[in-house]
Amino acid sequence: MKKSLLFFYFTFFALQFQVFAKVKNAVVFGEHSKIVQTMENGTLRIFMDMNGDFYPENVISNNELETTGNAQLAIWAKKYPAQFQKIAQSYRLEITTYSKFNYIVLQDSIRQNLLRTINKQGRIIQTWVIHGYRKKITNENADNLTSTYENSLCRKRIKPYVVNDSGHLFVEVYWDGKYLLTGGVKRVIQLGRLFKKKAIPNAQQCGYGLRRLFSGIQCQRINIITHSAGVHVVSSLLYNKMRGFSLPTPSQKDIRIAITAAASSGKKHFKRYYKRNTNLDYAASDNYTLFNLINENDFVLLKRIGRLHFTKVLGNTTLGCNRKSESQKLKSYFEKKYNNSIFLEGYVTQSRNHLFKAYIASAGFNGVLKFLYN
C-alpha cells in the first residue's frame, strides 16, 4: 500500500513538473498591446498562440495564460468566461457567455478586423516577416535579441526597395516559438528537444492558422521572409505539409518566399510542396517562388562539436547550412519534380552568427531584397 502511494505521489508530482516545464517555456502575447502598437506607420503586428489562434487587441494577463491557460487562448477563455465576454463585446459581438462556438465566433471577428486593415493598407505589395525559434518581444534576458528589434532592422533594410511606400504593408507575425535560456551541454540538449517536440508543432499550427487570413487577402503581390524555424510556419501556410489540411492554400498571383537560416531538411521538408488546396494550375505556372539564403558556417544550424556535425539530431537543420549540399539537392529535386516552379539560392559568407540580425546585415541579404522587390 505504501509503495502504491509513493508511486502515486511521485507520478503526480512528475506530471505536475512536466506541465509546469511546458508552460514556462511558452511565449505568450497577452500583454503585447502594452509593449507595441498593433498598427504603426505602415506596420501591422499579428500575434498567435500555439494553436494558431489570434490574440485580440485587449490586454490578457500573461500570468493567467501561463499558469491556468496552458499558454492557449481557448483554454484561458474557458477559465475566465467574464473576461472572454468583455473581449467579445469589445468586438461588437452579442455574446453573454463562453462556449466553444462563441470562441470560434470571436476568433472569426478578430481575423475579419485584421483583414480589413490588411486590405486597406497593403493594396499594392505586402511583406510578411516570420521570426524563428526562441524569440520574445521583450528583452528579459540578454542571451537573445527580441523579435521586435530584429523586425525593425528588417524594415530598415527593406524601406529603400519599396517604391510606393503608401501602397506597401509590412506585416510582422509573432508566434509561440517557445523559449529557453542557453548554457551547458544539458541545456543544449533541452533546447534541441524543445525545438523538435514543441516549437516545430507550434509553427505548423500557426502556419495553418494563417491560411484563414490569406484566403481573404485581396493584394496579389505578397513577399514572405522567414528566419530559422519560421520555415515551418510558412510551409504549413503554403502547402499541406501533413495530411488532413483542408483549408485553402494561398492563391494570390505572385508570392515570393525568402527563407533565411532554414532550420529544416531539404527534400524531405518539401516533398509535399504540390499538395495544395486551390483551383490554380500551379503545376503549369506556380504562383510561389522560393529563395534559400544559406550560411554554411552558421554555428547553430551546424550543431558542430569538434569535427562532428549533428545537423540531423533533435530537429533537422541541414537546409540552412547546406550540409552535404542539401540545398543543391533540393534545387535538383525541384528541377526534376517541380520543373515549372522556381527555387533560387544565395549565400552569407562573412559570419557564423545564426541571429536574424546577422542575416539582415549581411551582403547576402541584398540578394533576398533583389529577389523580393525587383
pTM reported for the whole predicted model: 0.92
Task: Provide φ and ψ at 40, rounded to 5°.
Answer: -155, 115
Cα separation, 29 vs 172, in Å, equals 13
Q: Which position has the grid cell 517541380?
A: 338
Q: Please give the average per-residue pLDDT across 278-290, as a whole number.
A: 97
pLDDT of residue 115: 98
Grid coordinates of 231:
520555415
Q: Determine the Cα angle at 371 with ends 177 and 129, to 5°.
A: 20
Cα separation, 235 vs 257, in Å, equals 10
Rounded to 10°, the helix 230-238/200-214 angle is 40
Grid coordinates of 50:
500555439
pLDDT of residue 8: 31
Per-residue pLDDT band for 164 (boundaries 50, 70, 90) equals low
Q: Which position has the grid cell 486597406?
A: 120
pLDDT of residue 18: 38
Give bridge partners of residue 47 from the DSSP assignment: 174
pLDDT at 12 over 90: no
Please provide the CATH number assigned to the domain covering 125-373.
Answer: 3.40.50.1820
Q: Please give the average per-residue pLDDT across 150-154, as a whole number.
A: 96
Give bridge partners of residue 34 from the DSSP assignment: none
Domain extents for the chain?
53-121, 125-373
Q: For the ranges 145-154, 276-285, 305-314, which has the lowest average pLDDT?
A: 305-314
Query: Which pLDDT tens digit goes with each residue over 215-273?
Result: 999 999 999 999 999 999 999 999 999 999 999 999 999 999 999 999 999 999 999 99
pLDDT of residue 70: 97
pLDDT of residue 204: 98
Q: Please give the average per-residue pLDDT across 276-298, as a whole number.
A: 97
Q: For the ranges 111-125, 136-150, 330-344, which has the lowest average pLDDT?
A: 136-150
